[in-house]
Structure 1
Amino acid sequence: MTDGQNRLLNGWQLSKMYTFEVAARHESFALAARELSLSPSAVSHRINLLEAELGIQLFARSHRKVALTQEGRRVYWTLKSSLNTLNQEILDIKNQALSGTLTVYSRPSIAQCWLVPMLGDFTRRYPAISLTMLTGNDDVNMQSTGVDLAIYFDAAPPGHLAHEFLMDEAILPVCSPEYAREHGLLNNPQNLSRCTLLHDRQAWSNDSGTDEWNGWAQQFAVNMPTSSGIGFDRSDLSIIAAINHVGVAMGRQRLVQKRLERGELIAPFGEKTLKCRQHYYVATLSGRQWPKIDAFIGWLKERAS
């Protein structure tokens, strides 16, 4: 079967969906008929046909009254959301698309430590674009969630998405100055064996466990503690723990740089940094080279450089 034959909705049903949207908005066939310049019986007939074709009861009928069923309410809110999105896109096209909403999805640590503190610069440059920030550790379904672009940290992006390189990353151990003094860590990585290690167990798409620490220790021939320490599902949480003297975190240089500059953290082993195999990249749905998306990606690359 062709894609068109597989669709649950066809052109005839889409035309009836407009009648349904008006009737659902008013929850009245009579008021819908007045808005559509039809008779109430014509509205009722169209809704009956739509229900039969979809195999879903959209309205519960009683004497001189109709009400959306639970299924009808779901269809209505989905239709309303789709129409709002379509209307916004048409407005964006008319306004050269440098206005309207832009929904950005990011790993929580990237958003908290790197992206969010810079957003004021973007909004000053593009005041007509309204940003919505979403975060999570999973690969988001951009089509169903309305996400326009996503920022990931991994070795390779999902194959079905268009993507652009954003920036490299390197890792290095960091801790509070107090913790370093207490455990004699300055230029003494062998003393790590007596410390609590802090790490991001979901540093990339698969469960990374202690991979970051193990990779760094192998590179610099450092003996690790027998305990795996404390694991988090976000890199920024391990950094907060390190600031509060809980242990030594494996920090991502891009995300901890400002903390290092402010003296909240120190890198007790100096230049012992390991370049990550993973990198940051921006992903979008193929074919969405829209001006507002391009503007945000261009701004991200400028800030990354």
Structure 2
Amino acid sequence: MMRQLPLATLFTFEVAARHLNFTKTADELHITQGAVSQQIRQLEEKIGFKLFERYHRRLTLTAEGARLALQLNHNFTEIDSLINELKEDKQSNILTLSVMPSFASKWLIPRLGDLQSAYPDMQLRIQANDKEVNFRRDKVDVAIVHSHLYKGNDFQVPLIKDKVFPVCSPEFAKQHNLLEPQQLVGLPLLNDDSESRFSTPYVEWENWLQKANVKGVKPSRAISFNRGDLAIQAAVAGQGIALGRTPLVMDDIQSGQLIKPFSVELDEGLSYLFVCPQAQSLRREVKDLLQWLLQSCFDYEPESTLTSPSSLID
């Protein structure tokens, strides 16, 4: 029934219900009083019941009219709010970036000063999120995700390869004289199980140990954390040996807080991706952010097979 009613007529009724006066309604809508009266009568005929009780010098709503007016006022208010929200979003230069918490704390946050220096006018809002991104639901413009977390068809560019390998503090390595992987037997392991919903909680340790041909180590006895940056911080504090992901440990290795005691790396072909809806990829702010991210990652991996940043930005 609703789809058969002219929207303009419903709006005229909603205004008339607020004023309870056809003259004031006509003034607000910039039409004649006769047009208001005609529209209300047409609406009453269409729906099959009266909306107003008409007296000599006044109007009152019928019970049905009052209920309909209340609902229409609510609906029109919601539509108006949504339109204003959409207009503000379109006019705003704020760029909302969804990023995995560990990547944010260990890689992005230490580099925000460089980003601000490069693009001082960029208004960036960072939203930490370790769930699969939903751009519309979460009101997110762009995201940095782990490649196995995202299978959509949106615009996406690989930022940095994700290799996994053990890391520990220099003091821990010296204390245990770490020279070869087999020495991990009996040592405290630190485990990141943040992605265990996709596999078993210790799968990465199990895969790395298998690749390194290490026997007798039980990853299930490791202390587990639900965030990779917490496992890394425990390793920095000398609490054990953790599996580090490339972007989460690169700065600590360069600063000397962590070392890579063994050469064996687990490379499962994963990477961190820059992802956004196709329409967002055309925004100047998005192109600037992607340019900066690519350059920052490329600077760290001069021999990587990632495409040069300039070739990925129009």
Give the 3-state SS of the residue equivalent to 2:132 in structure 1.
coil
Taking a change above 3 Å as real, the CA distance of residues 224 and 154 of structure 1, as seen in their structure-2 partners, is farther
* Counterpart AA for 2:286: I
Kept in 2: contact 1:105–1:150 (CA 8 A): yes
Alpha-carbon offset, residue 262 of structure 1:
2.1
Contact 2:192 2:227 in 1 (8 A): yes
Specify which of 108, 112, 115 is matched with residue 122 of structure 1.
115
Are 1:240 and 2:241 counterparts? no
Distance 1:76 1:144, change over 3 A: farther
- For residue 130 of structure 2, the aligned residue among 110, 125, 137 is 137
Which residue of the partner structure matches residue 225 of structure 1? 217
Which residue in the other structure is 2:88 paired with? 87
Q: 2:188 aligns with which of 193, 196, 199?
A: 196
Q: How many Å separate the matches in 1 of 2:227 and 2:71? A: 38
Question: Aligned residue for 1:4?
Answer: none
TM-score norm. by structure 1 comes to: 0.70
TM-score, length-scaled by structure 2: 0.68
> In the alignment, which residue of structure 2 is the partner of 1:287?
279
Matched pairs, number:
266
Q: What runs of 5+ residues in structure 2 fail to find an aligned partner?
A: 48-60, 62-68, 299-314
Partners of 2:114 and 2:9 in 1: CA distance: 46
Q: How does 1:262-281 map to 2 (within 5 A)?
A: 262-269=255-262, 271-281=263-273
Q: 1:273 and 1:78, CA in 2 relative to 1: closer, same or farther beyond 3 A?
A: farther
Query: How far did 1:139 drift?
Result: 0.6
Q: Distance in 1 between matches of 2:71 and 2:219?
A: 52
- The code of the aligned residue for 1:112 comes to S
**2:86 maps to amino acid:** T
* Residue identity opposite 1:85 in structure 2: L
Q: State the shift of 1:37 in Å.
A: 6.1
Q: Is the 2:163–2:266 contact (alpha carbons within 8 Å) kept by the matching residues of 1?
A: yes
Partner of 1:167: 160
Tell me if structure 2 keeps the 8 A contact 1:106–1:134. yes
- 3-state secondary structure, aligned to 2:178: coil
- Greater C-alpha radius of gyration: 2
Judge conservation of contact 1:157–1:163 (CA < 8 Å) in 2.
Answer: no
Q: Does 1:249 align with 2:242?
A: yes
State how 1:90-105 maps to structure 2 within 5 Å.
91=91, 100-105=93-98
**Residues 37/253 of structure 1: CA separation in 2 closer, same or farther (3 Å cut):** same
When residues 172 and 80 of structure 1 are mapped into structure 2, their CA distance, relative to the original with a 3 A threshold, is same
Instruction: Return the alpha-carbon distance in structure 1 between the equivalents of residues 200 and 273 of structure 2.
Output: 18
Q: Which residue matches 1:57?
A: none
Q: Is the 8 A contact 1:203 1:235 kept in 2?
A: no
What do you get for the CA RMSD once the two structures are aligned? Answer: 4.2
* 2:144 equivalent to 1:151: yes
What corresponds to 1:213 in structure 2? 205
- Cα distance in 1 for partners of 2:132, 2:274 equals 12
2-side partners of 1:204 and 1:164: how far apart?
Answer: 25
Does the aligned pair in 1 maintain the 2:181–2:212 contact within 8 Å? no
Q: CA offset at residue 267 of structure 1?
A: 1.8
1:299 aligns with 2:300: no
**Distance change (3 Å), C-alpha of 1:296 and 1:193:** same
Q: Which moved more, 1:103-112 or 1:71-80?
A: 71-80
Q: Which moved more, 1:188-197 or 1:222-231?
A: 222-231
Secondary structure class of the residue paired with 2:131: coil
Residue 268 of structure 1 aligns to a residue in which SS?
A: coil
Tell me the secondary structure at the aligned position of residue 293 of structure 2: helix
2:165 aligns to what SS in structure 1? strand
Q: Distance in 2 between matches of 1:253 and 1:231?
A: 19
Structure-2 separation of matches of 1:147 and 1:78: 21
SS at match of 1:112: helix
Counterpart position of 1:64: none
Flag the 1:304–1:191 CA change in 2: closer, same or farther, 3 A. Answer: same
